């Protein structure tokens, strides 16, 4: 397991967490390179189906992050998102999907350091959990050859 590098997909809103991650960069704070960020206008736009797709595609962990309550650029997108997360997370748990692999967080545009912490802690906790074999088994995808071109 020592050479296991977790694959983490982050679904973030444009106004807070994406900007926060920009600040991590401008502050030159180093963090694990395992994360790939997907930018959304708002956490309210993040479709739970996309989280499932990330697992389908081989993600070992997922981060969903947006503006703190009351900070939403669109006033209430994050509040709507939070309600959906409550239900989605609980359903996943009920189905036996390992919800330790889905991290929800609020990271503001000023919290560059927090973003680095969240990525690092997610990477290390997923590293401990190991690859998401259970899910991988149902995907049953033949190992893809790199077909770029």
CB 138, min distance to another protein, A: 4
Number of neighbours of residue 68 by Cβ within 10 angstroms: 13
Distance CA 24, CA 94 (A): 35
Closest CB to another protein among residues 1, 30: 30
Give the Å distances, CA to CA, from 69 to 19, 74, 97: 16, 11, 27
Is residue 138 a contact point for another protein (CB under 8 A)? yes
Phi/psi for 63 (5° steps) reads -115, 130
> What are the DSSP E strand ranges found in the chain?
8-13, 35-40, 61-66, 102-106
Among 6, 17, 59, 111, binds another protein (CB under 8 A): 59
Given a contact cutoff of 8 angstroms between Cβ atoms, the answer to whether 51 and 64 are in contact is yes
Site size toward another protein, by CB under 8 A: 83
Site for another protein in 9-48 (CB under 8 A): 9, 14, 18-19, 21-26, 28-34, 36-42, 44-48
Closest CB to another protein among residues 1, 28: 28
Site for another protein in 76-115 (CB under 8 A): 76-77, 79-99, 103-106
Distance CA 72, CA 51 (A): 21
Is residue 123 a contact point for another protein (CB under 8 A)? no
Is residue 2 a contact point for another protein (CB under 8 A)? no
Among 50, 113, 125, 129, binds another protein (CB under 8 A): 50
CB 148, min distance to another protein, A: 5
């Amino acid at each position: 397991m020592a050479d296991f590098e977790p694959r983490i997909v982050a679904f973030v809103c444009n106004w807070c967490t994406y900007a926060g991650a920009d600040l991590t960069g401008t502050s030159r704070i180093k963090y694990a390179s395992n994360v790939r960020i997907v930018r959304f206008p708002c956490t309210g736009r993040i479709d739970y189906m996309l989280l499932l797709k990330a697992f389908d595609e081989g993600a070992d962990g997922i981060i969903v992050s947006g503006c703190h309550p009351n900070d939403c650029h669109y006033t209430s997108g994050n509040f709507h998102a939070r309600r959906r997360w409550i239900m989605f997370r609980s359903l996943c748990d009920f189905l036996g999907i390992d919800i330790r692999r889905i991290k929800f967080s609020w990271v503001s545009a000023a919290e560059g350091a927090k973003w680095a912490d969240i990525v690092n802690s997610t990477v290390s906790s997923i590293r401990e959990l190991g690859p998401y074999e259970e899910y991988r088994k149902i995907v049953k995808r033949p190992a893809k050859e790199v077909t770029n071109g």
